[in-house]
Structure 1
Amino acid sequence: MGVRGIRGAITVKEDTSTEILEATEELVHEIIGQNQILPDHVAAIFITVTTDLVSDFPAKAIRKIGGWELVPLMCSTEIPVLESLSKCIRVMMLVNTDLNPDEVNHVFLREAKKLRPDLADINALTSN
Structure 2
Amino acid sequence: MDQLTLLTHTYQQTHISAPLGEWRVRGLRGATTVSQNSAQAIAEAVDELLNALEANNPLDPAEIVSITFSATPDLDAMFPAAVARQRPGWDQVPLLDVQQMQVNGSLKSCIRVLIHFNTPMPQNTLRPIYLRGAAQLRPDIARCS
With normalisation by structure 2, the TM-score equals 0.82
How far apart are residue 119 of structure 1 and its match? 1.3
Q: What is the total number of aligned residue pairs between the two structures?
A: 123
In the alignment, structure 1 segments of 5+ residues that lack a partner are none
How far apart are residue 99 of structure 1 and its match? 1.1
How far apart are residue 75 of structure 1 and its match? 0.0
What residue is the counterpart of 1:50 in the other structure? 72
After superposing on structure 2, the runs of 4+ consecutive aligned residues of structure 1 that deviate more than 3 Å are: none
What residue is the counterpart of 2:81 in the other structure? 59
In the alignment, structure 2 segments of 5+ residues that lack a partner are 1-22
Alignment partner of 1:76: what SS?
strand
Distance 1:13 1:29 in 2: 18
Q: Percent identity?
A: 37
With normalisation by structure 1, the TM-score equals 0.93
What residue is the counterpart of 1:105 in the other structure? 127
Cα RMSD for the two superposed structures: 1.2
Alignment partner of 1:119: what SS?
coil
Bigger CA radius of gyration? 2
Q: Match of 1:36, as an amino acid?
A: P
What residue is the counterpart of 2:10 in the other structure? none
How far apart are residue 38 of structure 1 and its match? 0.6
